[in-house]
Structure 1
Amino acid sequence: MSPPSLRKLPAVLVVDDEVRSQEALRRTLEEDFDVLCASSAAEGMEILEREMSTAAVRIVLCDQRMPGMTGVQFLKEVRHRWPDVVRIILSGYTDAEDIITGVNEAGIWQYLLKPWQPEQLLLTLQRAAEVWRLQQENQRLSLDLRTAEPVLKKRVQSKFDKARHAFGLSSFIRQRGSPLNDICEMIERVAPFDLAVLVTGESGTGKEMVARAIHYESRRAERPFITENCGALPDTLLESELFGYKRGAFTGAVEDRVGLFQQADGGTLFLDEIGETSPAFQVKLLRVLQEGEFRPLGSNRSVNVDVRVIAATNRDLEEDVRTGRFREDLYYRLATIALHVPPLRDRPMDLPLLAQHLLDSSNRHLGCAVQGFMPEVLERMAAYRWPGNVRELQNEILRMVALSESPSLSAALLSPRVLREPALERGRERQEDLTDGLSGGLKERMAQLEVRVLRQAMLRHHGNKSRAARELGLSRVGLRAKLVRYGLEQGE
């Protein structure tokens, strides 16, 4: 007999008082099992006591009628001491009382009759070995689950705390006096309430960051945060993405699809570039916001959802409402709370801290160890207007880190567009006397003065005619007419 530590086959104990029966069973089973034989219940018990220290025996195959202790009595004791062992009776008698006692008291898994067929017997014991394996796996998993539940809860809570720190109010990089402070205060005040929020601002200012902060500071923080860029898809695809569809709703719909509204149920749905949607789609979106329900494409049943909607755009939606491009009722539904994210050029006090934060992030992303910026770099950065805002700054620093060969980033690594802007003319507003340099009579001077006022208003608002017109007290059409008349329509 091989030592237990060297066995690779599952062990079966055969208990039978007939030696020839033992040998027949051994020949049938030995290719698939490590067969141990005993001629009596007492001998079988000795083998089990010796072998079960290593849990070697998985199956006991026992004759029912033997001198002394019967098979059922023996297996009853086995069940008491080693309940995991799979127990099988092999008998030439069909006594109903023996069968009932064996099942009830000894927990016998199978009751086989003599004469047995080799193929059937081997198949039965193979199934018994699989039952033993599944029992062990079940016990292990049950134990793992009992011990892992508090650990898993702790891990989930830890990850949630990290996510909240990464995406909540603490994620905003700002200094005292930063325009972001007012935004953060508003986020903290409105986040607990299930109100729709419209976030406006130029591209790259961090509108999605504001939306995530609202979500993670709200009571919905442990539920999904789902995003969709409405400007990236045509109406038909956008509708199927948001509302889902049933199989066969259109060509290519080979299976049901759950829409983003349903995926975000209980949480927050962030709709970026909402100003790019068509009036036809806006009608469908308005119904969802008003009724809290929608109908997937191809379905005749409505789905109810509990979703907080945060929308964002870089367009002037008020102007779009006036021109009829955006529905007024949808605008007021989305803009219960309106937040405007300031551009980076209006946050000069945040630039050094933000640049260092983005440098640390770039180091982690690229596996580098750049320590900081040379003074001239920060001066150049402060002089540049950053039309792409924080996103442009992030990409610029990534580029510099990738190209750097020294511990500190030098101005030579800056992109040409950043170096082109005069460092001394940025970072502060230069006030000039509008009347300097005027010539001609009063009419000519007034026209020259009007050109200067128009040009400066357009520069202050970065080409946004709607905002410039509001500042000057003009309609958008009136402003455009003046720009055309003075040749300022193109390039200013």
Structure 2
Amino acid sequence: MSAARPTVLLVDDEPLSLETLTRTLDEPFEVLTATSAAAAEEILAEEWVQVVVTDQRMPETTGVEFLSRVRERWPDVVRIIISGYTDPGDIIDGINRAGIYQYITKPWHPDTLLLTVGNACHLYRLQREHELLSLETRLTAATLEQKLAAHRARLKRTFRLDAIVRSPGGPLDAVCDLVERVAPYDIPVLLTGESGTGKELFARALHYNSHRADKPFVAENCGAMPDQLLESELFGHKKGAFTGAVNDRIGLFEQADGGTIFLDEIGEVSRAFQVKLLRVLQEGDVRPLGSNQRRRVDVRVVAATNRSLETEIGEGRFREDLYYRVAAVRLHLPPLRERPDDIPVLARHHLAAAMTAFGKPVTGLSDDLIDRLQRYHWPGNVRELQNEIQRMLVMCDGNQLGADLLDPGIPGADSRSRPPIPEPFPGQTLKARIEALEAGVLVETLERNRWNKSKTAVELGLSRVGLSAKIERYGLEKPP
């Protein structure tokens, strides 16, 4: 996908002058023209414009008056005046009333005009990316670049692959190795795994370890969002496109131009919207709601889902062609229950973060607590573990977090609440050993599903009556 050219609006009542300006600027920029201030305002109401270049002397108004109205209605647009008159009063008036970025005198040189307009477009992009700069602050582009560079450097350090919290030699090592190999290339990645396993963390790692790290990273959760709202969020809209659209809005695809967009829960998107999303990924352009103009965008797409998209395709709920567009590389994040050695490392990491956030220091976690944490299956994965550590820190009255602080609602966290399971040992018959293993599987699955028998029965391929019979047979009881 190629990057979009900045759009420049030229305003001059003299056709010959307008033609000369257009010839000078039409190669590096998308040029729109108007022969009056009224026509220019109509264009601004319909199109995305970064820079306005206007003549000072026009029949019905002056350039300063026109740009003053532009400043009120479209304050982000960078404003430039060209004039054959160098009256200091006009210059001061333009700066004070219209917030003019540059005052160019006639006769102008093509190279000077190109450089000035190019710098104005660069300033507009910095405003959009950082959302802190306005013309009134009079900050130079260099100052803003320094702030952006410092912020990006912090993000790169945060999302280094060796900074991802995990135990040495654990399952996440293979995931990080794959991220390191894939990140430098502009190839779509699909992250799969249960909720709370850290899919957005790895999406950011893909971005900040790529050549796009200096460009924006934006994220959108596509789950349970109406199509029109999702379309507005991703593609943008024009004022009046629908009820409640009181202002123009730039969509996330345009905000992410040059960088990465993360589409979380992509498996929740409706079939109708999948068609629109597929077109954007194929053609590399977006059309805001209420506009008939398409905008080129250059983005890398990273998607995520906790569903099996292969199953969704088989059942007709997800388009196969869209799947292959977003899943050039598939990266699966294992659940926390399959990473027991990561639990102590993650628990200590989240405890340190919570102590800083809450201003409440403790010495650490007791060995008994760590043992109990490793026994639990964490259906909410890392997010659930983080919440539990924060809750225990708040409830702690001593100088160490102990097993007594565990939420009583966590089944299986306390060994005293676990139902007795027959243990297989040498000398038992084959039947006894199989029954012991079956009982263990039942307890593990029931605890992970919080003793929801319907979900457990579906997962194990049993009827609810059959599951109840096995629970009764092995004497398994839900802990209090």
Do these two structures clear the TM 0.5 threshold for a shared fold by scoring above it? Answer: yes
Quote the residue 2:294 is aligned against. Answer: 302
Runs in 1 of length 4+ with deviation above 3 angstroms?
151-158, 418-426, 429-435, 451-463, 479-482, 484-492
Q: Report the CA distance between 1:333 and its aligned residue.
A: 1.1
1:322-344 Cα distance to aligned partner (Å, 9 max, x none): 11111111111111010111111
Pairing partner for 1:313 from 295, 301, 305: 305
Q: Report the CA distance between 1:159 and its aligned residue.
A: 2.6
The 3 A distance-change label for structure 1 pair 454 and 381 is closer
Q: Work out whether residues 375 and 412 of structure 2, in 8 Å CA contact, stay in contact via their aligned partners in 1.
A: no
1:322-374 Cα distance to aligned partner (Å, 9 max, x none): 11111111111111010111111111111212111111100111111122011
Alpha-carbon separation, structure 1, partners of 2:287 and 2:411: 54
What SS does structure 2 have at the residue aligned with 1:365?
helix
Q: Report the CA distance between 1:171 and its aligned residue.
A: 3.2
Q: Work out whether residues 386 and 393 of structure 1, in 8 Å CA contact, stay in contact via their aligned partners in 2.
A: yes
The 3 A distance-change label for structure 1 pair 156 and 363 is same
Quote the residue 1:286 is aligned against. Answer: 278
What SS does structure 2 have at the residue aligned with 1:333?
helix
The 3 A distance-change label for structure 1 pair 154 and 246 is closer
Quote the residue 1:333 is aligned against. Answer: 325
The 3 A distance-change label for structure 1 pair 160 and 408 is same
Q: RCO greater where, 1 or 2, for CA within 8 Å and sep 6 or more?
A: 2
The 3 A distance-change label for structure 1 pair 361 and 251 is same
What SS does structure 2 have at the residue aligned with 1:176?
coil
Quote the residue 1:376 is aligned against. Answer: 368
1:173-195 Cα distance to aligned partner (Å, 9 max, x none): 11222100001001110001111
Quote the residue 1:483 is aligned against. Answer: 462
Matches within 5 A, 1:161-310: 161-310=153-302
Q: Report the CA distance between 1:167 and its aligned residue.
A: 2.3
Alpha-carbon separation, structure 2, partners of 1:269 and 1:334: 12
Alpha-carbon separation, structure 1, partners of 2:169 and 2:251: 42
The 3 A distance-change label for structure 1 pair 481 and 153 is closer
The 3 A distance-change label for structure 1 pair 488 and 460 is closer
What SS does structure 2 have at the residue aligned with 1:417?
coil
Quote the residue 2:129 is aligned against. Answer: none
The 3 A distance-change label for structure 1 pair 399 and 210 is same
1:49-92 Cα distance to aligned partner (Å, 9 max, x none): xxxxxxxxxxxxxxxxxxxxxxxxxxxxxxxxxxxxxxxxxxxx
Quote the residue 1:79 is aligned against. Answer: none
Quote the residue 2:18 is aligned against. Answer: none
Q: Report the CA distance between 1:456 and its aligned residue.
A: 6.2
Matches within 5 A, 1:78-157: 149=142, 155-157=147-149
Gaps of 5+ in 1: 1-107, 111-126, 132-140, 439-447, 464-478
The answer to whether structure 1 residue 356 and structure 2 residue 351 are counterparts is no
1:204-255 Cα distance to aligned partner (Å, 9 max, x none): 1100001000010011111111111100411121111111111221222222
Alpha-carbon separation, structure 2, partners of 1:164 and 1:424: 45
Q: Report the CA distance between 1:155 and its aligned residue.
A: 4.8
Q: Work out whether residues 253 and 261 of structure 2, in 8 Å CA contact, stay in contact via their aligned partners in 1.
A: yes
The 3 A distance-change label for structure 1 pair 249 and 419 is closer
Q: Work out whether residues 383 and 425 of structure 1, in 8 Å CA contact, stay in contact via their aligned partners in 2.
A: no
What SS does structure 2 have at the residue aligned with 1:338?
strand
What SS does structure 1 have at the residue aligned with 2:241?
coil
Alpha-carbon separation, structure 1, partners of 2:195 and 2:429: 32
The 3 A distance-change label for structure 1 pair 491 and 302 is farther
TM-score, with normalisation over the residues of structure 1? 0.59
Q: Report the CA distance between 1:391 and its aligned residue.
A: 0.4
Alpha-carbon separation, structure 1, partners of 2:444 and 2:405: 32
The answer to whether structure 1 residue 436 and structure 2 residue 415 are counterparts is no
The 3 A distance-change label for structure 1 pair 386 and 461 is closer
Query: For the pair shown, which has the larger CA radius of gyration, 1 or 2?
Result: 1
What SS does structure 2 have at the residue aligned with 1:209?
helix
What SS does structure 2 have at the residue aligned with 1:353?
helix
| 1:484 counterpart letter in structure 2 | S
Q: Work out whether residues 193 and 335 of structure 2, in 8 Å CA contact, stay in contact via their aligned partners in 1.
A: yes
The 3 A distance-change label for structure 1 pair 224 and 457 is farther
Q: Report the CA distance between 1:487 and its aligned residue.
A: 3.3
Tell me the C-alpha RMSD between the 2 structures: 4.0
Q: Work out whether residues 371 and 407 of structure 1, in 8 Å CA contact, stay in contact via their aligned partners in 2.
A: yes
Alpha-carbon separation, structure 1, partners of 2:440 and 2:271: 33
Q: Work out whether residues 203 and 302 of structure 2, in 8 Å CA contact, stay in contact via their aligned partners in 1.
A: yes
Q: Report the CA distance between 1:203 and its aligned residue.
A: 0.7
What SS does structure 2 have at the residue aligned with 1:231?
coil
Q: Report the CA distance between 1:158 and its aligned residue.
A: 3.2
Q: Report the CA distance between 1:490 and its aligned residue.
A: 12
Q: Work out whether residues 226 and 270 of structure 1, in 8 Å CA contact, stay in contact via their aligned partners in 2.
A: yes
Q: Work out whether residues 411 and 447 of structure 2, in 8 Å CA contact, stay in contact via their aligned partners in 1.
A: no
The answer to whether structure 1 residue 402 and structure 2 residue 394 are counterparts is yes
Matches within 5 A, 1:68-79: none
Q: Work out whether residues 455 and 488 of structure 1, in 8 Å CA contact, stay in contact via their aligned partners in 2.
A: no
1:96-125 Cα distance to aligned partner (Å, 9 max, x none): xxxxxxxxxxxx999xxxxxxxxxxxxxxx
TM-score, with normalisation over the residues of structure 2? 0.61
Alpha-carbon separation, structure 2, partners of 1:355 and 1:182: 21
Pairing partner for 1:392 from 350, 364, 384: 384
Alpha-carbon separation, structure 2, partners of 1:430 and 1:223: 57
| 2:466 counterpart letter in structure 1 | G
